[in-house]
Structure 1
């Protein structure tokens, strides 16, 4: 255990987190950059005295449970979490679960793409963030409970609203194959995460197609670069599909754009005006 380096690392991460990032008021008398020690301790579910001793290079070796709490409280990336474990003399085990925290710069990126539909997905295919056009093209994710925002669950188990599988995309079968293969790799990375294991069990029990694909043990998959959504209001919308990997969080940004001057580009413009309204369409 490198107590001195651990102390410096904890302090540096704590000072980089704004109170607003964790739902705390900044307050007019705040002098400490970032979080206070007692706030970091509270978020990590440890005592302020223990946390203070760690930052003063006087603390005992933290347990894996304490390290997990510190990583969560300080919003560490996978690389930072690994570094924390090594400093504490406890090489990390498997990550606890897919990261669901979307970086603010990525959220800003989504908002700056008004002519593109864009979403952020976790390693388990949960839609974590989206822009307004994605909500209009696909569905209003904010109106759904968290479990129904999972694309792999939706493609295999539904609901298929108006008989449209996964928003009527033309490559639904290909997406199903890709998602099953990538989910197997995700399950290997997060073997102890109840969300991932529960999702796999649910899909195995509820879908013969998924069970067949899962039994193949395939993990490699090609991405579809072009697809067509069958939208209930504006009709078919053909888009290019580009995927950006956020490797330190094991997330993906999926961006849908239409060819310039195409009917689909005009349909996206119309959707940007309509928004998530469904008018007389049964959602």
Structure 2
């Protein structure tokens, strides 16, 4: 681990960003260019003290998970992310179908969506980035106890289904399995994807039965219903923006203006911001 070079690289990447680049308010007048350390820490889901120690060339060696979070927070390109890993003494991922590093373009769009739930999800179902509204609707996927994969969550955690009306479960399950089938068809040699399918087949009879139907369909725009424990039933239009390689998608949920769901979505925005402030 090259602590000096790592610290310098982090500082330079931080100072080239503005709050607007990452969807933050400029706030009070800034004496120096770039983001503040506490802002990068917040975006990466780590403590300010931990991040500060990295920029000061001291502290413990960061984990791969933490490095990936910092790379997303600093909006690094794929090459810059690999460089960050090498400076920290980690081997960069050689998987050229990336699913853990969110493309800067998708993050740019996510940062600008402040009043609707939006998140970036890999084609394996891994939640890679969320805005505050998505955390308020779905839960914080970065929390230590959270299940970050939406397919595992749906089929292996009965409590996770409580977010959806019972009569929608069958359709939601079929959609998820058909989309996973389409992903496997594109990347039949993806070891992580095959391991996910094996796990789900072993742990969920429902998933296994649906998998055997061999339905194939990439997830597209849809209407989904959510039973939120605070604001109640939400009927939301689900828009899906696919990356050029179809391995990442930006999923946005909106409500029709003037509808009851629209009013409840606005209430969710207030509740979500309050929770974020308290956190």
Q: Which residue of 1 aligns with 2:21?
A: none
- CA distance in 2 between partners of 1:217 and 1:238 (Å): 29
> Within 2, Cα distance between the matches of 1:197 and 1:252?
20
Q: Kindly indicate whether residue 228 of structure 2 is the aligned counterpart of residue 231 of structure 1.
A: yes
Runs of 4+ in 1 over 6 A off after TM superposition: none
Instruction: Give, in whole Å, the separation in 2 of the partners of 1:96 and 1:105.
Output: 18
Q: CA deviation at 1:239?
A: 0.8
Distance 1:212 1:225 in 2: 24
Asked if residue 260 in structure 1 is aligned to residue 246 in structure 2, the reply is: no
Larger radius of gyration between Structure 1 and Structure 2: 1
Provide the aligned C-alpha RMSD in A.
3.1
Which of the pair has the greater relative contact order for Cα pairs under 8 Å at 6+ separation? 1
Write the deviation string for residues 209-252 of structure 1: whole angstroms up to 9, x where unpaired.
11111112221367462122101011111111111111236211
Structure 1 gaps of 5+ residues are 1-18, 28-70, 77-94, 279-283
Unpaired segments ≥5 residues, structure 2:
14-76, 83-94
Is the 1:236–1:264 Cα contact (8 Å) retained in structure 2?
A: yes
Q: Which residue of 2 aligns with 1:56?
A: none
Q: What SS class does the counterpart of residue 124 from structure 1 fall into?
A: coil
- Secondary structure, aligned partner of 1:244: strand
Match of 1:150 in 2: 149
1:82-231 paired onto structure 2 within 5 Å:
97-144=97-144, 148-161=147-160, 165=161, 167-169=163-165, 171-220=168-217, 223=220, 225-231=222-228
Post-superposition offset of 1:187: 2.0
Structure 2 length-normalised TM? 0.61
Residue 66 of structure 2 corresponds to none
Q: Distance in 1 between matches of 2:123 and 2:9?
A: 25
Query: Equivalents in 2 of 1:247, 1:197: separation in Å?
Result: 23
- CA deviation map 1:35-76 (0-9, x unaligned): xxxxxxxxxxxxxxxxxxxxxxxxxxxxxxxxxxxx964679
Q: SS of the residue aligned with 2:102? A: coil
TM-score computed with the length of structure 1 as normaliser:
0.60
Please give the secondary structure, in 2, of the residue aligned with 1:115.
coil
